[in-house]
Homo-oligomer: A and B are copies of this chain.
Amino acid sequence: MNVTIIDVAKKAGVSPSTVSRVISGSTRISAATTKKVKIVMEDLGYHPNLMAKNLVSRTTMTIGLLLPRNADEAFLDIFFSEVTRGILSKATRAGYDLLLKTGKSEQEELEAVTRLVKGRRVDGIILLQSRLDDTVIRYLQQESFPFVLIGRDRERPDILTVDNDNVQAAYDVTRHLLELGHRRIGYASGPLELVVSADRHEGYRRALEEAGIEPQPGWFVSTELVRADSTSAVRALMDRPDRPTALVVMDDLLAFSLLNSLSELGYSVPEDMAVFGFNDNPMSPVSSPPISSVDIGVYHLGLEAAGLLLRSVKGEQPEQRRVIVPHRLIPRESSQPIKVT
């Protein structure tokens, strides 16, 4: 039951334009009329602004987005603007606003989300990451509050998620390198506690095993090693008698570090090492050499997440609880066929 300006006018016995003037604070309306109209507005629960309207309809027409605290990592930086644009595009078209929240710790994030839920500030929430035993997700589940996770939560397969098929994406990259003639293919990993790292490693492993190749532990480079001392990590890799001729690299930023170290040690890319990254950093096409990468469709991750959340907010049962956004391989100069030696 939406109260309109007409209802107020009728009950107060004035014209709708008089109500409108009262709302806009016009001095042309007598104090008595103003008071009468205001009392009727109060009685009927009519308020001349959106927030008040929302109060009546009990929806806020707003969705919340939790910006994770560790978004100062370069990948999340770039991810964030694109995913936000995707969310905004969908939300705006549906008449929803987007409210941003963040916290410096998991505790602060939980407090921020609790205030959103308890204060009825939003109709639903989009999360950009999940932790093991995530207290924010646990809270939202307890409250049966609509939310969507961009990413994947291995422990809670029942929550609404939008994600890439990262196993398939890494499988595709590894197949691509195999088709270029590479056999000894290494893997440079992101933090292993992230589901995305584990998924991509699995896709890499599958493609190699299908090709009858046993992935060697010595072909594995961890992001921690690269961060600590990229040159030592690359030297250890290149000193192996069975050193890889190609690398699948979890993120283009990591690929940059590796390229830098390879160059320092006198190796050329792609001649001595083919490199295929992920996440298609804006720098990758202008790097020297341009870095092959996987476009994971970040804008569409945001778009789909907002779409899924809005269906959930309206109480619709989504056909699928996990939406997969397609990926796309973009081969560039950094990955070439193996040199015939």
Contacts and interface: CB of A to CB of B under 8 A. Distances in A.
Contact of A55 (B51, B71, B89, B260): B51
Contact of A45 (B42, B60, B100, B101): B42
Contacts of A82: 72, 77
A74 interface: yes
Contact of A42 (B42, B76, B253): B42
B45 A49 contact: no
A267 to B, nearest CB: 11
Contacts of A119: 49-51
Interface stretch (A165-173, A281-289, A323-331): A281-289
A84 B67 contact: yes
A337 B257 CA distance: 25
B288 A263 contact: yes
Interface residues of A, number: 54
Residue among A45, A60, A99, A100 with most chain B CB within 10 A: A100
A215 interface: no
A224 to B, nearest CB: 15
A102 interface: yes
Per CB-CB distance, the 6 closest pairs between chain A and chain B, nearest first, are A74-B282, A260-B288, A50-B119, A80-B81, A256-B286, A283-B283
